[in-house]
Structure 1
Amino acid sequence: MTEGGQMTSRRPAPAGAKLQLGSLLAELAEAVGRGRADVRRALNCSEPKARKIMSGLVSVDPEDLVTLLDLFEADDAARAKAAELAAAAQRRSPRTPGGSPLRARVYKFEESAIGISSYATELIPGLLQIEDYAEQLFGASGERTPAQVKKLVAARRERSARLVSPDGPQLHFVLGEGAIHWQVGGPKTMAKQLLRLIELQDLPTVTIQVVPFASGVHAALGYAFTLLLQPAEQQDRAYFESLFASKLIHDKATVDGYRRRFAQAVEHALTPNDTSDYLATVAARL
Structure 2
Amino acid sequence: MANPPPPLARRIELGALLRTYRERASLEVGEVAEALGWSYVQKVGLMESGKRKLAPLELNALLDLYKLSAHERERVIALGKEARKRDTGPAFVADWAQTYVALESAASHLKLYREELVPGLLQTEEYARTILEEGDALTAREIDRAVARRAQRQERLAESDAPRVTVVLSESVLRRAVGRAAVMRGQIDYIHKLANLPNFDVRILPFSVGAHLALGTSFTLLHLGDPMVTFAYVEALTDSDFFDGPPHTEFYTLAFDRAQRASLSSAESLGMLDRVKFEPDPLE
Normalising to structure 1: TM-score of the pair?
0.68
Do residues 145 (structure 1) and 142 (structure 2) align? no
Q: What residue is the counterpart of 2:184 in the other structure?
A: 190
Q: 1:94 to 1:170 in 2, by over 3 A?
A: farther
Post-superposition offset of 1:123: 1.9
Choose the corresponding residue for 1:239, options 210, 217, 234.
234
Q: Does 1:22 align with 2:31?
A: no
Distance 2:100 2:142 in 1: 21
Distance 2:154 2:188 in 1: 16
Q: Distance in 2 between matches of 1:76 and 1:125?
A: 40
Inter-partner Cα distance in structure 2 for 1:222 and 1:88: 38
Say which SS state the counterpart of residue 147 (structure 1) adopts: helix
* 2:200 aligned partner: 206
In structure 2, the CA distance between the partners of 1:228 and 1:74, relative to structure 1 (3 Å rule), is: closer
Aligned CA RMSD, in angstroms, stands at 4.4
Matched-pair contact (CA < 8 Å) for 1:194–1:279:
yes
User: Structure 2 unaligned runs (5+)?
Assistant: none
TM-aligned CA distance change 1:65 to 1:220, over 3 Å: closer
Aligned to 1:7: none
**TM superposition shift of 1:208:** 1.3
Match of 1:123 among 99, 117, 121: 117
Per-residue CA deviation, residues 213-263 of structure 1 (Å, 9 max, x unaligned), is 4x241225861310435567867435253xx56652749556655544434
| Pairs aligned (count) | 267
Match of 1:6 in 2: none
CA distance, structure 1, for counterparts of residue 14 and residue 78 of structure 2: 11
1:17 & 1:221 partners in 2: Cα distance? 26
Deviates more, 1:88-97 or 1:50-59: 50-59
Paired with 2:130 and 2:92, the residues of 1 have a C-alpha distance of 17
Report if aligned partners of 2:232, 2:252 keep a CA contact under 8 Å in 1.
Answer: no
Contact 1:109 1:228 in 2 (8 A): no
Once structures 1 and 2 are overlaid, which stretch shifts more, 264-273 or 127-136?
264-273
Please name the residue that 2:149 is paired with: 155
The question of whether the paired residues in 2 share the 8 Å contact of 1:235 and 1:252 is answered with no
Deviates more, 1:196-205 or 1:15-24: 15-24
Displacement of 1:68 after TM fit?
6.6
Contact 1:16–1:113 (Cα < 8 Å) also in 2: no
SS of 2:52's partner is: coil
**CA deviations over 1:23-63 (Å, ceiling 9, x no partner):** 487589889xx9545545xxxx8667974796464334456
Q: Is the 1:18–1:59 Cα contact (8 Å) retained in structure 2?
A: no
Which of 209, 223, 232 pairs up with 2:216?
A: 223
SS class of match (2:212): coil
The whole-number CA distance in structure 1 between the counterparts of 2:251 and 2:73 is 38
Identity %: 22
Q: Quick check: 2:110–2:165 contact (8 Å CA) kept in 1?
A: yes
Tell whether the 8 Å contact from 1:15 to 1:111 is kept in structure 2 after alignment: no
Contact 1:219/1:265 (<8 A) preserved = yes
- 1:99 maps to a residue whose letter is A
Structure 1 pair 73/268, CA: closer, same or farther in 2 (3 Å)? closer
Deviation, structure 1 residue 148? 1.5
TM-aligned CA deviation for residue 285 of structure 1: 6.2
